[in-house]
Amino acid sequence: MSAQDFLVELGTEELPPKALKALGDAFLAGILGGLKSAGLSHGAARVYAAPRRLAVQIEQLATQQPDRSINLDGPPLQAAFDAAGNPTQAALGFAKKCGVDLEQIDKSGPKLKFSQTIPGQAAAGLLAGIIEASLAALPIPKRMRWAARREEFVRPTQWLVVLFGDDVVECEILAQKAGRESRGHRFHHPDQVRIGSPASYLDDLRAAHVLADFAERREIIARRVAELAAEQKGSAVVPADLLDEVTALVEWPVPLVCSFEERFLEVPQEALITTMQDNQKYFCLLDANGKLLPRFITVANVESKDPAQIISGNEKVVRPRLTDAEFFFKQDKKQKLETFNERLKNVVFQAQLGTVFEKAKRVSALAAYVAEQVGADPVKAARAGILAKCDLATEMVGEFPEMQGIAGYYYAKNDGEADDVARALNEQYMPRGAGAELPQTLTGAALAVADKLDTLVGIFGIGMLPTGSKDPFALRRQALGVLRILIEKQLDLDLAAAVDFAIAQYGAKVKAEGLSAQVQDFIFDRLRARYEDEGVDVAVYLSVRALQPTSALDFDQRVQAVQAFRKLPEAASLAAANKRVSNLLSKAEGAVPTSVDAALLQEATEKALAEAVAAAERAVQPMAAARCYSEALAHLASLREPVDAFFEAVLVNAEDAAVRANRYALLAKLRGLFLGVADISVLG
């Protein structure tokens, strides 16, 4: 079957830069889906996305659909016709489904059958519909109309190129008639550009100062920005999202170095970087120590004969932005950070839970409690807690919300607060996302845990539980943050006691009954997904969960021990034995004795097991008490042989009640050894 290259390019007014890459990918996916549904084979497929165009290029697209055969089975003959030979509704319905008269249905077999060969259509006649369907399915939240047209798209359309081989596919889509005339760069080459063939698309546009390939423009920008930064003896801050957005803003990227006055470096560099990145789409430069340089890189969309004019223009534009940040910083420093709490007395945290200042007081007390438990300074933690939310009322954070915590750090340092108190004001929001940085100071860790527990307890305490995808207070993220801090920083905190302390801080504002258990369950339930992501089997998690440890660190240490134990050759047999023991003990009549009577041991195998259990008890109990769980389970693995021998030779439910009770006591001792670490019967 013959094949030809295919190209579609839709020209528009400037597309939304943050959405450009997604629009291009969706356009390609839609075209490929349409070709697949039509049964049209093809070679390599590529998408091109630039500020004023979306294009898809397909190599060696089949010029014709293959013929298709339809074979459908209908109802049995006896159900298709009545005794008089008249067709029933079943027969008539089958014919209608096939789109033919009943006379065209095959009645020669035991069932009605319909077979049809559908000749393939020419691809050229199908392409317009495939393009239209793909454009209609693009992820566009809000479409617009233009002029007096009824058509809708993300931006007004300007031209349309549809080529199949050397020929134009005659069609009209989104108010544009297809042709082979594209457009060049808006300034360098505003004239039309003739596209010779699908294969020449990139080169034809390149000659008109348009780099249509998103990936090529992105690579050029990233490479040139890095080179210019090195020339300035620095390194560029290049967030992936910003790089994508800048790539989507230019057709012919020309990075240029600009500068600003050094006096602005007295302002927190995070604020300067934020305003330059978010508002101006600039790449900032840092020196070898991570300090901001008075330089930035802008990416122009023209290759100017006088680039100094472009540089000067960008420097003039950025100056008022930096001046604003400087003004806010100086204004805020005119008063002590703590005084901003007065403003927070009038700012509501949550209608039922009081003001932000009341939250700060609760967090201060809870942070001191947490600090004492994890070996931090409770006085510093309490101080950090009372200052924790002050910067929310500052001018700086009002203008740059991303500066919350960071601004607090700078203002606390300016006021002479202890270094770890100042750092804690920023660290309280850590981790800011999955896998993000954790607090470095113990004071910051205590404050971060306290802040998150206070929110969890408060929101759960008024019944605003997260449901499905709705979690307005980010309680799942708060719980995961608590777990990450405690586990990864090796902080041994009894969460049950900490939650109870947090509940007490709220007093009558929350419904305390059952709240502690509810919050703890919610927190520890988050560990299940964490361990699954790490490749830990859910049964391992459940084996520890059954014991309900209240320390996240202790929980994790047990999980790691059970995960290692599962790899031992004795694990499966001992897990099965524990499951059997658990079932037997659950059916025991009356109380099981707490000790084993050596005089009632009859069989050699039960005497051997009793000796092995007693020896293991002496060895393992100190290990479990010291949380050396892996060593404890490794030692208990040696019980496999005496346990297996016991179950092969001994009838646990002996007729003699005393002997039976004694054997139950022995098994309870055995199970208790494992329960010192986890309920491994869950693994069986």
Hey, where are the domains in the chain?
3-65+122-208, 68-118, 214-333, 338-535, 556-682
Q: Which of 126-140, 331-345, 464-478 has the lowest mean pLDDT?
A: 464-478
CA distance 244 to 237: 14
**Class of residue 101 by CB neighbours under 10 A (exposed 0-12, middle 13-18, buried 19+):** exposed
Per-residue pLDDT, averaged over 469-480, amounts to 90
Residue 598's pLDDT is what? 86
Give per-residue pLDDT as tens, 568-583. 888 888 888 888 888 8
CA distance 224 to 334: 42
Give per-residue pLDDT as tens, 277-294. 999 999 999 999 999 999
| 39 token code pair | 């049964």
CATH number of 3-65+122-208: 3.30.70
Q: Which of 516, 364, 565 is nearest to 451 (CA)?
A: 364
Query: What dihedral angle (degrees, nearest 10) is formed by the CA atoms of 618, 623, 625, 626?
Result: 150
Kindly report the CA angle at 447 between 443 and 452, in degrees rounded to 5? 155
CA distance 366 to 340: 21
What SS3 class is residue 10?
Answer: strand
CB neighbours of residue 400 within 10 Å: 22
CA distance 610 to 543: 25
Is the pLDDT reported for residue 193 higher than 80? yes
Residue 597's pLDDT is what? 85
CA distance 613 to 636: 9
Per-residue pLDDT, averaged over 408-432, amounts to 96
CA distance 458 to 460: 6
Query: What dihedral angle (degrees, nearest 10) is formed by the CA atoms of 526, 527, 530, 536?
Result: -140
Strands 157-164 and 167-168: antiparallel
- Contact (Cβ atoms closer than 8 angstroms) between residue 107 and residue 21: no
Q: Which of 385-394, 450-459, 580-589 has the lowest mean pLDDT?
A: 580-589
Going through 354-484 in order, the beta strands assigned E by DSSP cover 354-355
CB neighbours of residue 386 within 10 Å: 18
Residue 592's pLDDT is what? 82
Dihedral sign for Cα 484, 489, 494, 498, please: negative
CATH number of 338-535: 1.10.3210
Query: Measured between alpha carbons, how far is residue 460 from residues 15, 506, 624 in Å?
Result: 44, 12, 34
CB neighbours of residue 376 within 10 Å: 24
State whether CATH 1.10.730.10 applies to domain 556-682: yes
Is the pLDDT reported for residue 587 higher than 90? no
CB neighbours of residue 26 within 10 Å: 19
Give per-residue pLDDT as tens, 603-648. 888 899 999 999 998 999 899 899 999 999 999 999 999 989 988 8
Q: Which of 672, 398, 306, 416 is nearest to 407 (CA)?
A: 398
* Mean pLDDT taken over the chain: 93
What SS3 class is residue 298?
Answer: strand
Strand partners, 594: none
DSSP 450-502: HHHHHHHHHHHHTT---BTTB-TT-HHHHHHHHHHHHHHTT---BHHHHHHHH
CA distance 132 to 3: 22
- Contact (Cβ atoms closer than 8 angstroms) between residue 385 and residue 365: yes
Per-residue pLDDT, averaged over 50-64, amounts to 96
Query: Measured between alpha carbons, how far is residue 84 from residues 38, 87, 91, 111, 660 in Å?
Result: 44, 9, 14, 18, 79
Strands 192-194 and 176-177: unpaired
Q: Which of 361, 355, 353, 402 is nearest to 384 (CA)?
A: 361
H or E segment to which residue 92 belongs: helix 89-98
DSSP state letter for 304 = -
Residue 542's pLDDT is what? 94
- AA letter at 549: P
pLDDT-based confidence at 594, cuts 50/70/90? confident
DSSP state letter for 62 = E
| 86 token code pair | 């008249």
CB neighbours of residue 435 within 10 Å: 6
| 315 token code pair | 């420097």
Per-residue pLDDT, averaged over 253-276, amounts to 96
pLDDT-based confidence at 590, cuts 50/70/90? confident
Q: Which of 252, 309, 324, 318 is nearest to 283 (CA)?
A: 318
Cis peptide upstream of residue 378 (ω within 30 degrees of 0): no
CB neighbours of residue 287 within 10 Å: 13
Q: What are phi and psi of 18, to 5 degrees?
A: -70, -20
DSSP state letter for 249 = T
What SS3 class is residue 548?
Answer: coil
Per-residue pLDDT, averaged over 367-372, amounts to 98
Q: Which of 285, 282, 236 is nearest to 265 (CA)?
A: 285
Give per-residue pLDDT as tens, 70-89. 888 899 988 888 888 888 99
CA distance 642 to 603: 12
DSSP state letter for 405 = T
Residue 1's pLDDT is what? 63
- Contact (Cβ atoms closer than 8 angstroms) between residue 198 and residue 55: no
Per-residue pLDDT, averaged over 437-458, amounts to 97
CA distance 10 to 26: 14
Give per-residue pLDDT as tens, 235-249. 999 999 999 999 999
Per-residue pLDDT, averaged over 295-310, amounts to 96
Q: How does 66-88 read in b/e, with b if 16+ C-beta sit within 10 Å?
A: eeeeeeeebbeeeebbeeeeebe
What angle do helix axes 378-387 and 356-374 make, rounded to 10 degrees? Answer: 160
Is the pLDDT reported for residue 684 higher than 70? no
CB neighbours of residue 149 within 10 Å: 12
pLDDT-based confidence at 387, cuts 50/70/90? very high
Q: What are phi and psi of 158, to 5 degrees?
A: -125, -30
pTM exceeding 0.75: yes
